[in-house]
Amino acid sequence: MAAIPPAVHGLARNSIAMNQKNIIAVILITLGCVVLAFSGISFTTPGDTIQFLGLRVETTNTHFIPPIVGAFALVGGIVLLMVKPRLTS
């Protein structure tokens, strides 16, 4: 079985890194567009359960992702797509 030449092996490694970079960039762009389209996203998570005098009250925590975070994600994704990978020697 023939060994892979170093130049080809390095090229394959760079293409894998390029694919991971592109996937992350597309995810950032998509999430940034969604957050900007909805003018921010709010969601709730379960909070604490309080028991007092035989009453049980369940609380929720509300979180908000502001549109500026979406703008940063969008710009970050675009920058990731535009940056060329460094060639190592």
| More reliable by pLDDT, 3 or 43 | 43
> Is 88 part of any domain?
no
pLDDT at residue number 52: 86
Buried b / exposed e along 50-77 (16+ C-beta atoms within 10 A):
eeeeeeeeeeeeeeebeeebbeebbeeb
87 in any annotated domain: no
pTM assigned to the model: 0.66
Does residue 2 fall inside a structural domain? no
**E-only strand ranges, the chain:** 41-52, 55-65
Q: How many domains does the chain have?
A: 1
Q: How many C-beta atoms surround the C-beta of residue 81 within 10 A?
A: 14
In a domain, 63, yes or no: yes
- The answer to the question of residue 44 being in a domain is yes
30 assigned to some structural domain: yes
Position 3 in a domain:
no
pLDDT tens for each residue of 36-84: 999 999 999 998 898 988 899 999 999 999 999 999 999 999 999 998 7
Domain residue limits at 35:
15-82
Q: Is residue 42 part of a domain?
A: yes
